[in-house]
């Protein structure tokens, strides 16, 4: 079945409809999609370069290993990397009456990413927008793309849907406009003063927006010595445990820097699959267990009248 997807520039000219009505219809589809998903988990930071996509890919693989049905949304629509890290099957996506079917991955989860919609892996994202003032439209276009990834993808029944957000606290706001109460928001940091500063602002922003459940993941927190396995500090600033205590949020994982597991993930083999006995993989498995325990506790609390 072939479906024509209209651009946002055409919405206002659609016969017999309006932008408001079409957004309302999509919002209703989003509500139905989320009704079949157990838990939506946001992976954010506010800062780039801290390894959000690495954490997302490995968390997804770890959850699949533990028997869960998992989907991943690559929310970085301008710099997508999840397809590469998860070993996604490339090729035309199937479009059916129930929506666009997500791609399967080597990690065992399903994925929707802008990367899968581009003509080639090295093609840049180009938005169709008015010739003048394109920057005014960009936020609307990016939010629209995220809404479509969530609402118009045929996710089916999932235990977890992980949303890997692009850098910037504004990206947190965009997701919360669509998913006001995620089951958890993981904020990824590194033990550097710059990362700690931005993540601190992200925690404040998420709290002000009413997010109930925020946890910290400290990535590249020490270097795993290949000889003895001990962790040697890389950045020398505030470690994750100290930052979590200062921000009064739980620390769910401390992941040491390991070039080998990073290289494996870049080849589409997350560390928990390619090198499960490494310190980094064990930390990522612990992250999956922490998330399981959290949603179990949250579900029990919500069941109590």
Supply the DSSP string of the chain, one letter for each residue: ---PPPPHHHHTT-TT--HHHHHHHHHHHHHHHHHTEEEEEEEE-SSSSS-HHHHHHHHHHHHHHTT--EEEEE--SSS--HHHHHTBPPSPPPEETTEEPPEEBTTS-EEE-GGGGSSSTTPPP-----SS-HHHHHHHHHHHHHHHHHHSB---SEEEEEEEPPSSHHHHHHHHHH-SS-SEEEEEE-SSHHHHHHHHHHHHHHHHTT---EEEEEEEEEEE-TTT--EE-SS-S--HHHHHHHHT--EEEEEEE-HHHHHHHHTT--HHHH-TTSHHHHHHHHHHHHHHHHHHHHHHHHH--
Indicate the average pLDDT of the chain.
87
Per-residue confidence band for 6, with pLDDT thresholds at 50, 70 and 90 = very low
Q: Which domains does the chain have, with CATH numbers?
A: 41-303 (3.40.50.300)
Model pLDDT for residues 52-98, shown as the tens digit of each residue: 999 999 999 999 999 999 999 999 988 899 999 999 987 889 999 98
Choice between 236 and 164, residue whose per-residue pLDDT is larger: 164
Choice between 124 and 265, residue whose per-residue pLDDT is larger: 265
> Residue 9: its pLDDT value, please?
46
Q: What are phi and psi of 154, to 5 degrees?
A: -80, 75
Per-residue confidence band for 125, with pLDDT thresholds at 50, 70 and 90 = low
pLDDT, average across residues 131-154? 78
> Residue 24: its pLDDT value, please?
79
Choice between 14 and 77, residue whose per-residue pLDDT is larger: 77
What pTM value is reported for the model?
0.88
């Amino acid at each position: 079945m072939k479906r024509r997807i209209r651009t946002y520039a055409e919405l206002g000219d659609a016969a017999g409809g309006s932008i408001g009505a079409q957004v309302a219809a999509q919002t209703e589809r989003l509500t139905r999609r989320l009704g079949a998903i157990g838990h939506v988990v946001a992976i954010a930071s506010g800062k780039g370069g801290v390894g959000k996509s690495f954490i997302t890919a490995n968390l997804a693989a770890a959850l699949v290993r533990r028997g869960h049905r998992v989907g991943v949304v690559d929310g970085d629509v301008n710099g997508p990397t999840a397809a590469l890290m998860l070993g996604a099957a490339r090729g035309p996506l199937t479009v059916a009456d129930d929506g666009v079917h997500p791609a399967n991955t080597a990690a065992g989860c399903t994925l929707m990413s802008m990367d899968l919609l581009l003509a080639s892996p090295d093609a840049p994202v180009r938005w169709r927008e008015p010739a003048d003032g394109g920057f005014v439209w960009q936020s609307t276009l990016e939010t629209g793309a995220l809404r479509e990834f969530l609402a118009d993808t045929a996710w089916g029944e999932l235990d977890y849907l992980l949303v890997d957000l692009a850098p910037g606290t504004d990206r947190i706001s965009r997701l919360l406009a669509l998913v006001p109460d995620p089951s958890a928001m993981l904020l990824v940091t590194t033990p550097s003063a710059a990362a700690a500063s931005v993540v601190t602002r992200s925690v404040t922003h998420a709290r002000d927006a009413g997010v109930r459940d925020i946890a910290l993941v400290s990535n590249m927190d020490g270097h795993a010595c290949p000889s003895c396995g001990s962790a040697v500090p890389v950045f020398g600033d505030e470690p994750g445990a100290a930052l979590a205590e200062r921000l009064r949020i739980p620390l769910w994982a401390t992941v040491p820097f390991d070039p080998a597991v990073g290289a494996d993930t870049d080849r589409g083999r997350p560390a928990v699959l390619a090198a499960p006995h490494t310190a980094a993989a064990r930390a990522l498995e612990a992250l999956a267990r922490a998330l399981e325990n959290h949603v179990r506790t949250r579900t029990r609390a919500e069941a109590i009248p």
